[in-house]
Amino acid sequence: MSTAISAAAPTTLPLGKALNAGLRRALENDPKVVLLGEDIGKLGGVFRITDGLQKDFGPNRVIDTPLAESGIIGTAVGLAMRGYRPVCEIQFDGFIYPGFDQIVSQVAKLHYRTSGNVKMPITIRVPYGGGIGAIEHHSESPEGYFAATAGLRVVTCSNASDAQTMIQQAIASDDPVLFFEPKRRYWEKGQIDPAAETSPLHRARVVAPGTDVTVVAYGPLVTTALQAAKVAADEGRSVEVIDLRSISPLDVDTVAASVQRTGRLVITHEAPVFLGIGAEIAARIGERCFYHLEAPVARVGGFTVPYPPAKLEEHFLPDVDRILDAVDRTFTA
Amino acid sequence: MCPAATQSLSKDVPLFDTDEIVQLITETGQRRTHPDFSAWVEDIDLTELRALYEDLVVVRRIDAEATALQRQGELGLWAPLLGQEAAQVGSARALDPGDFVFASYREHGVAYCRDVDPTHMLRFWRGSTHSGWNPFDYNMTTPAIIVGAQALHATGYALGMQFDGSDGAAITYFGDGATSQGDISEAFGFAASFNAPVVFFCQNNQWAISEPVSLQSRVSIAARGRGFGVPSVRVDGNDVLAVIAVTRAALERAREGSGPTLIEAVTYRMGPHTTSDDPTRYRPAALDEEWKRKDPLDRIRALLDSAGAIDDTYLAAVQQRADDTAAALRRGCLETVEPEPMSLFDNVYAEPHPLVDEERRQFAAYLDSFEGTDA
């Protein structure tokens, strides 16, 4: 068994490989960590995130399951009660719904329901979002459903360093964590920052400082937001980009501190705007920063339509231009 | 069914592949033998049978008292088990303390056999808590309302037992209606594929609220298990001895590494689904009368009577014990310490959560604002 990442030497890895390294470390560090999901064994998962792990840790640690999402989550509940720390892989975002009841009725509530006697240290990994030209049910952003359920933590990584660190933090958490992986960023390389491990799982991070407007993004759109900030800078506008990282709990403090500096806020995510995470942030920033805001909070997200066919997704997904358009609106409002 | 008492009995784990209904005590209270299952209860003598009868009487009394407490407004709801005492007591008495029970919401008799204080059972139905006891104190989960979900939990737990090299087993209880849920099918599939040491115990009480079992399944519930490769058996759920026998054999299959078993205990819910239900709207009275003749308490009492193992003194002592338990239950229910408002925020998460903490602070300040007022 080899550990791909050493804490001392900075390494560059694609986000997907960084997740694999994080999972490997978690399996090494705690014999109670078990992975379960469809095709995660010999195949290494359809995105190869679990590549090589069954070979090194055996079929009782990296378990190929029948094709049944409720079964995957429900058996994870029992394993957790037996003292294991299950990590479930849901193959694609749109496949999570058959497991929805086990997640929101059981995983989320058992700790509360049992007055804290039963812990649910379960991590549910979900490759999510669009931009890879997939067929239907393969490109959705269902994070809002889970963020709306008390008892769950919902996080998403946007870069290799966070991917490697956050997956380990999620597995180490005694709470259930929905871990959303931006599938279109799996192949994007990034440097693994050893210092990242000290950042708590629930904390948002300013990934690009700026003074004129705050853009909040998470998961796949952090890269897009950074690209927009660069274009804006060329046009003489200073954009501060925040990577939310955690969707539940929301780190409102970090966003509010930024808005108090910039006076303007744009929020972007792939999920439809209506009742999306952006709505929650806008409401809370309205409460906290009313007198600092120079303009209404702007949101850029998916439309109120089902995720469209691949040939239309470039119009559905927020891109640099739509983010810049929203930035402009906060200056002209 | 083979009534030949002379046939030698072996305690080999039988094949659970029959749709016959295994019975060891007839409806009129006669012992009968079964070539596969009699051996599993040959240690149960009259003394043991008397203890089982006491269990049945006490459990029925707990149920009656809880139903009365609901009618008197002390409980929001109760799910009576009337008629299902033998299925619950028989299966629970077959368990070892180290086995883990994943219950539904009607298993008051199982909880009683796991030594759960009956008062604690009521807290859930009173609305004072979602649980009432620590599952790990009794190796038994607290009520599960979403029918069928717990069968997957049992399967996962059993898988963990298998990984640990434990010789324990998990058992999960559900009703005939739950077998229509996907989770039960998924649990059968997972358990069979992984050879998990789990016993699926279906109390087929004939009714899923108003819907008869014929609406849930066109084949026996046991046949559903076999389709997944889960060996299955039907047992007379009103025959406490037969239920013990098949459960012991199924647990042995689990312990020896032979995997899951499905038991379909054919019984009848004599009362309503819950205290909010009105079975007279959907159930012919004649059917109730028919099942009354199969009462699980009557038949073991008839057996003990014909063996000369009971008399009025004994019956009075059993009744006294049941009444004492009911009195303690009532006292405990009325003395329940209700939760404080701020406990609303406890245990949502295992680790600190800033937004829950914020709401806790805000609500505490709101409550404090009433200090010194009449509100």
How do residues B5-23 score in pLDDT, each as one tens digit?
A: 444 556 777 778 778 999 9
- Cβ within 8 Å, pair A174-B351: yes
pLDDT at B4: 39
The answer to whether A45 and A65 are in contact (CB under 8 A) is no
The C-alpha of A228 sits at a distance from chain B's nearest C-alpha, in angstroms, of 30
| Chain centroid offset of residue B102 CA | 9
Angle between helices B85-93 and B46-71 (to 10 degrees): 130
One-character DSSP codes across B311-372: -HHHHHHHHHHHHHHHHHHHHHHHT--PPPGGGGGTTS-SS--HHHHHHHHHHHHHHHTTTT
A52-86 per-residue burial string, b: 16 or more CB within 10 A, e: under 16: ebbeebeeebbbbbeebbbbbbbbbbbbbbbebbb
Euclidean distance between CA atoms A248 and A103, whole angstroms = 15
pLDDT at B8: 52
Euclidean distance between CA atoms A316 and A306, whole angstroms = 10
Supply the mean pLDDT for chain B.
Answer: 94
Residue B290 burial (10 A CB sphere; 0-12, 13-18, 19+)? exposed
The C-alpha of A178 sits at a distance from chain B's nearest C-alpha, in angstroms, of 14
The C-alpha of B218 sits at a distance from chain A's nearest C-alpha, in angstroms, of 24
The C-alpha of B128 sits at a distance from chain A's nearest C-alpha, in angstroms, of 11
**CA-based nearest residue in chain A for residue B169:** A82
Identify the CA nearest to B269 among candidates B180, B177, B207: B207
Q: DSSP state, B30?
A: -
| CB nearest to B135's CB, from A80, A114, A120 | A114
| CB nearest to A74's CB, from B136, B161, B186 | B186
pLDDT at B119: 96
Q: What pTM was computed for the model? A: 0.94
What is the bridge-based pairing of β-strands A123-128 and A62-64? unpaired
Residues of chain A below pLDDT 70? 1-10, 333
Q: Would you state the structure tokens that stand for residue B15, as one six-digit string?
A: 């094949």
CB-based contact, B69 to chain A, within 8 Å: no
Residue A138 is among the residues annotated as catalytic for this protein: yes
Of the candidates B123, B269, B299, B301, the residue annotated as catalytic is B269
First to last CA, chain A: 58
Euclidean distance between CA atoms B276 and B55, whole angstroms = 27
- List, for residues A51-86, the tens digit of each pLDDT value: 999 999 999 999 999 999 999 999 999 999 999 999
Contacts 24+ apart (CB under 8 A), B303-309: B303/B25, B303/B29, B303/B30, B303/B31, B303/B49, B304/B46, B304/B49, B304/B50, B304/B53, B305/B29, B306/B29, B306/B30, B307/B46, B309/B46, B309/B49, B309/B50
The C-alpha of A70 sits at a distance from chain B's nearest C-alpha, in angstroms, of 7
Chain B residues near residue A115 by CB distance under 8 angstroms: 129-131, 134, 346-347
Of the candidates B34, B224, B226, B273, the residue annotated as catalytic is B273
Q: In chain A, which among 228-267 make CB contacts under 8 A with chain B?
A: 248-253
pLDDT band for position B2 (cuts 50, 70, 90): very low
Euclidean distance between CA atoms B294 and B266, whole angstroms = 11
- Cβ within 8 Å, pair A249-B129: no
Average pLDDT over residues B198-211: 97
- Cβ within 8 Å, pair A75-B149: no
Chain A residues near residue B350 by CB distance under 8 angstroms: 111, 116, 119-121, 173-175
Average pLDDT over residues B145-167: 97
Average pLDDT over residues B334-358: 96
Q: Would you state the structure tokens that stand for residue B257, as one six-digit string?
A: 């590494």
Compute the residue count for chain A: 333
Q: Would you state the structure tokens that stand for residue A203, as one six-digit string?
A: 């904390």
- Cβ within 8 Å, pair A153-B346: no
The C-alpha of A32 sits at a distance from chain B's nearest C-alpha, in angstroms, of 10
Euclidean distance between CA atoms B42 and B246, whole angstroms = 13
The answer to whether A295 and A329 are in contact (CB under 8 A) is yes
Residue B301 is among the residues annotated as catalytic for this protein: no
pLDDT at B9: 58
- List, for residues B19-46, the tens digit of each pLDDT value: 899 999 999 999 999 999 999 999 999 9
The answer to whether B232 and B262 are in contact (CB under 8 A) is yes
pLDDT at B11: 78
CB-based contact, B366 to chain A, within 8 Å: no
- Cβ within 8 Å, pair A68-B190: yes
Chain B residues near residue A109 by CB distance under 8 angstroms: 130
The answer to whether A208 and A247 are in contact (CB under 8 A) is no
Euclidean distance between CA atoms B237 and B222, whole angstroms = 13
| CB nearest to B152's CB, from A74, A174, A175 | A74
Chain B residues near residue A114 by CB distance under 8 angstroms: 130-131, 134-135, 142, 347
Q: How many degrees, rounded to 5, is the angle at CA A104 between CA B261 and CA B349? A: 110
**CA-based nearest residue in chain B for residue A105:** B146
| CB nearest to B149's CB, from A68, A102, A151 | A102
A314 half-sphere exposure, CB direction, 13 A CA radius = 2
Residue B255 is among the residues annotated as catalytic for this protein: no
Outline where DSSP puts E strands in B248-322.
261-266
- Cβ within 8 Å, pair A117-B355: no
CB-based contact, A78 to chain B, within 8 Å: yes
Average pLDDT over residues B145-151: 96
pLDDT at A137: 95
First to last CA, chain B: 70
Is residue B315 predicted with pLDDT exceeding 90?
yes
Chain B residues near residue A250 by CB distance under 8 angstroms: 355
Q: Which residues contact A54 (CB under 8 A, 6 or more apart)?
A: A40, A41, A42, A44, A61, A62, A64
Chain A residues near residue B135 by CB distance under 8 angstroms: 81, 114, 117-118
